[in-house]
Structure 1
Amino acid sequence: MAPPDRSTSSLMLADIKVLAGLFVAWKLLLLCVAYISPGPGYDTSTTLLLLRAQSAQSENTLLEDLAKRLASKLVRWDALYFVSVAQRGYVFEQEWAWGWGYTKFVGLVSNGWFGASDSMVPWLNSTSVLPGSSLSPLYAQAYAGVLISHVAHSLSVIMLYKLVHQLPIMDKKQRHATAFLAASMHIFSSAGMFMSAPYSESLFSMLNFAGILIHARIPWNSPLEDYGASSLLSLLSSGACFGLATTVRSNGIFSGLIYFHHVYMLLHSRINIRTMITIVFIGLSAMMILSGMLFPQYMAYQDFCARPSDGEPRPWCSRTLPSVYSWVQEHYWNVGFLRYWTLSNIPLFLLALPMLYVLVGTGLIAPTLNIKSSALQSKHASVYILCLALPQMLLALLALTTFHVQIVNRIATGYPIWYIVLAATMVSPMDTKRSDKTATSHRADSSIAKIGSYMSKASTQELMFRGMFMYSIIQGGLYASFMPPA
């Protein structure tokens, strides 16, 4: 047995440390932007909600005032619904537009970790450094959401870094550089403040990346009859992750398109008992993903159709496919095919156009990445990468034609392929020309120098990277001031 590649392991560990430093610095910058943002904005919903929920007690300490101000800047737009539903459950029909899995998880974290019942956290009580805390349970939901966003985002950065090393693309040096840049871009994601606020984007990214990372362990060039116990377990585990992601955001169901690779490999497989067993496991995995969509719908159906509180079922109950989510989007937000195509929304389409271009363009380019293998294996690898890219291309198509197009700038962050393709085109072929001396000193480079070394010449990818950085800063200030776009 060959000894482990210690240099590669130490290099990866050094990269992760640099990424952690970048992550902390970026998050602190965003939180500072949020904190200093002026006024309540044009909408006072946050102020009214938090004031009504706050218990009347003694004067706040300085630390409590700082914490409350930061919370008021992060609980904006949909976050109002997220923290409210996490605290009291679903009451109004339109609230079912927000992910059941996310609100339930925020509620669990706030109750289990923060002790949301009467005091914000166990260590914020009358005997703590913050005596007489007047922060209400609603603040606990807000800080639980903020905690989840930061932890989930940090984990998804590491998952994306590791995912690149598992994909059948490029050579070893290129993969290493691509992994670092892709993970860096995910830190500076166009979702910006939405990855720090009590929003579902970070948790969705973590779960979706986890599903893809686990799925990537399955041999991409193996016929179905060669799937062993580990591959079958990876199928079920990835399906579970995608299913949980779908409870957080409904577009998680698009990840089921990744399983089209197994359909393709079925054409190159013999039909026998082992193949049939694998097909059953693929079906079970797909059912897990589908259940992530159906289970919340079932819960809503029980409340509004089977046992309506006012005795009258809602109109959507009699539909062939009684989906509360589709009804709410259509009835309350006028979401539907080409409904968003109005003259007044042209600025929003222009705002989303770069991301739509990136999602579709990188999805089409992905199968042609520098795959190093035999002709047949190259074809299998290209199909595999294409299947990984299909969810992001479908997302772009639906954003363009069906739902509020501007949100694609934040929900695209949960799809890894566009990061990887942008990073790969930035490092290739330059990375293959790096000398051994450069590679040896790689871990000693500063984070800014490492990123800058792959941007020595102007390119579309560089402009995209810079654009994401600038957009996130500007968007963060607008978000914290309760100003569009959201």
Structure 2
Amino acid sequence: MFFKSNSAKIALAAICSRAVCLLVGLVSAECMHPYDTSGNIYPAGHKNVGEWLSPLAYWDGVYFLRTADIEGYEYEHTHAFFPGLPILINVMEGLASSILPEWVLPAQRVDRLLLCGAVITNISFVLASVLLYWLGLAVLSDRKDGVSVAYYGALFFAIPMSNIFMSAIYTESLYSMLTFAGLLLLYTAANAYRPDQSRWAELGQATLALGSAITLAAATLTRSNGTLNAPFLISFGIHTRSLLLAIPLVLLVLLPLPLYLRYAWSLYCSNIGLDNRPWCDEGGNVYSYIQKEYWNVGLFEYYTPNNIPNFLLAVPSMSIAVTAVVRGLSRYCPQLSRAFSPKAWIEGVVSAAYDYKRSPFVFQLMVLTFFTLLCANVQVMTRLLTGCPLYYWQLGSFYDSIIADKKGGGRISTVAFYVYLLFHSVYFFIGPIMFCNFLPWT
């Protein structure tokens, strides 16, 4: 029966974790005095659902909600937040307003947008939890412990360290759902590939691959790191001997980024005779400019004494990510891990590209981890990793090894993992309280 299946258990864990998250966060916001009371000015201002849910729109959430409300971008720095989530919030609010009776929904549009945003992020999270488990079954099917690693990994996602960001008006849940769904479609097609398959089978795989690319393109429209999903399609093309199909699909996944940049350019750089912004003459990339100008994104720009606490906040998740990358390189991309010359590196990349089941996940996590560690606001690593399946499979593998008492897991590594679990639990409960009271969090 479904209700006794692993999928149902994961869905139930995700639902319960959302209930705990919202209860802890919203009740604490009612009982405590927010650190920054300006957080209550928008979007709440009246005694209804908007006031209760308004803490979910703190920090970056206010920008997503404002973009949805005015159906566009108001200021230059708001272009740091991609339009996928605001578009979906607007669509859902329009559908709900046209289908449901007036007495069901809040009277104020901004409150309806807030409610729709909360529904989208929380439902997306539950779906993403189950999709990650199914993706794990598809990718890890050749491992003896594949089912248990996929199951425990999905449970770690369902009860996440980045807890509040999966329920607030943030993109993490939606992005993860789209990424996992797109990759599941792709690996369903890849696993069904046979060299001597019929034309009908090829057509079915091409259809799944197209659906995957469209879904991953939606992920790119939601978050810029969706571009890291493109290599999955390249590996798919190599594995299925269909690079001519894969190349346009890769371009489709990347397409939302240049379209978004072009849209921003049309807003600020196309007025002849007026003073343009500096980035208009520097390639027209508003996103890179904003990240550097407003968030100090750049090589070692974040390496200052006052940011030491932020590095400490990132240590638990960073340690798991680095471990997953190192193990992934040694197990699935051995040529890369031993590549000390340009020629050896190129050979390693080519060899890794043929391993369609493992290498793209290692690449995705490796680029995101080391870019964040070297160039970005490192404390956001806790929530950036939510879209990386390998991170959760590494957690699942650790946990499975410990509970099964397998050989090879030393005492030190076991103790270290329990220390991680302690931090994971603390972050899970502290995050909603900090965020919903407008206190700095990851």
TM over 0.5: yes
1:71 aligns with 2:53: yes
* CA distance 1:140–1:427, shift in 2 (3 Å): same
Q: In percent, how many aligned pairs have the same letter? A: 24
Partner residue in 2 for 1:359: 321
1:414 aligns with 2:387: yes
- Paired residue type of 2:379: Q
Partner residue in 1 for 2:310: 348
The one of 392, 399, 410 equivalent to 2:365 is 392
* CA distance 1:477–1:261, shift in 2 (3 Å): same
The one of 208, 226, 236 equivalent to 2:179 is 208
* CA distance 1:343–1:380, shift in 2 (3 Å): closer
- Paired residue type of 1:314: R
Q: Is the 8 A contact 1:335 1:404 kept in 2?
A: yes
1:194 aligns with 2:165: yes
Q: Is the 8 A contact 2:13 2:159 kept in 1?
A: no
Q: Is the 8 A contact 1:75 1:198 kept in 2?
A: yes
* CA distance 1:40–1:99, shift in 2 (3 Å): farther
Partner residue in 2 for 1:302: 266
* Distance (whole Å) between structure 2 residues aligned to residue 426 and residue 380 of structure 1: 29
* CA distance 1:111–1:262, shift in 2 (3 Å): closer
- Paired residue type of 2:223: R
* Distance (whole Å) between structure 1 residues aligned to residue 435 and residue 428 of structure 2: 10
Q: Is the 8 A contact 1:97 1:328 kept in 2?
A: yes
* CA distance 1:392–1:171, shift in 2 (3 Å): closer
1:16 aligns with 2:12: no
* Distance (whole Å) between structure 2 residues aligned to residue 18 and residue 324 of structure 1: 43
Structure whose CA Rg is larger: 1
* CA distance 1:161–1:368, shift in 2 (3 Å): farther
1:314 aligns with 2:296: no
Partner residue in 2 for 1:471: 427
Gaps of 5+ in 2: 333-350, 407-412
| TM-score, with length taken from structure 1 | 0.77
Partner residue in 1 for 2:131: 159
The correspondence of residues 61-100 of structure 1 with structure 2, limited to 5 A, is: 64=48, 67-88=49-70, 89-100=72-83
Partner residue in 2 for 1:41: 34
Give, in angstroms, the shift of residue 95 of structure 1: 1.0
Partner residue in 2 for 1:148: 120
* Distance (whole Å) between structure 2 residues aligned to residue 432 and residue 169 of structure 1: 22
Give, in angstroms, the shift of residue 304 of structure 1: 1.1
* CA distance 1:430–1:74, shift in 2 (3 Å): closer
Partner residue in 2 for 1:106: 89
Partner residue in 1 for 2:16: 25
Partner residue in 1 for 2:339: none
* Distance (whole Å) between structure 2 residues aligned to residue 475 and residue 297 of structure 1: 33
* Distance (whole Å) between structure 1 residues aligned to residue 401 and residue 380 of structure 2: 31
| TM-score, with length taken from structure 2 | 0.84
The one of 228, 251, 256 equivalent to 2:225 is 251
Give, in angstroms, the shift of residue 257 of structure 1: 2.6
Q: Is the 8 A contact 2:140 2:150 kept in 1?
A: no
Give, in angstroms, the shift of residue 44 of structure 1: 2.5
The Cα offsets for residues 350-408 of structure 1, whole Å up to 9 and x where unpaired, read as: 111221221121133246779xxxxxxx9998563122221111111111111111111
The correspondence of residues 259-274 of structure 1 with structure 2, limited to 5 A, is: 259-262=233-236, 265=239
Give, in angstroms, the shift of residue 167 of structure 1: 1.4
Partner residue in 1 for 2:347: none
* CA distance 1:404–1:224, shift in 2 (3 Å): farther
* Distance (whole Å) between structure 1 residues aligned to residue 441 and residue 403 of structure 2: 37
> Between Structure 1 and Structure 2, how many residues are aligned?
412
CA RMSD, 1 decimal: 3.1
Gaps of 5+ in 1: 1-9, 55-59, 116-120, 267-274, 371-377, 434-456
* Distance (whole Å) between structure 2 residues aligned to residue 27 and residue 123 of structure 1: 27
Give, in angstroms, the shift of residue 218 of structure 1: 3.4
Q: What's the secondary structure of 2:269's corresponding residue?
A: helix
- Paired residue type of 1:300: A
Q: Is the 8 A contact 1:71 1:142 kept in 2?
A: yes
Q: Is the 8 A contact 1:366 1:421 kept in 2?
A: no
Q: What's the secondary structure of 2:188's corresponding residue?
A: coil
Q: Is the 8 A contact 2:234 2:243 kept in 1?
A: no
Partner residue in 2 for 1:269: none
1:424 aligns with 2:362: no
Partner residue in 2 for 1:442: none
- Paired residue type of 2:397: A
* CA distance 1:229–1:430, shift in 2 (3 Å): farther
* Distance (whole Å) between structure 2 residues aligned to residue 400 and residue 69 of structure 1: 37
- Paired residue type of 1:364: V
The Cα offsets for residues 263-294 of structure 1, whole Å up to 9 and x where unpaired, read as: 7659xxxxxxxx5xx22211111111111211
Q: What's the secondary structure of 1:151's corresponding residue?
A: helix
Q: Is the 8 A contact 1:253 1:290 kept in 2?
A: yes
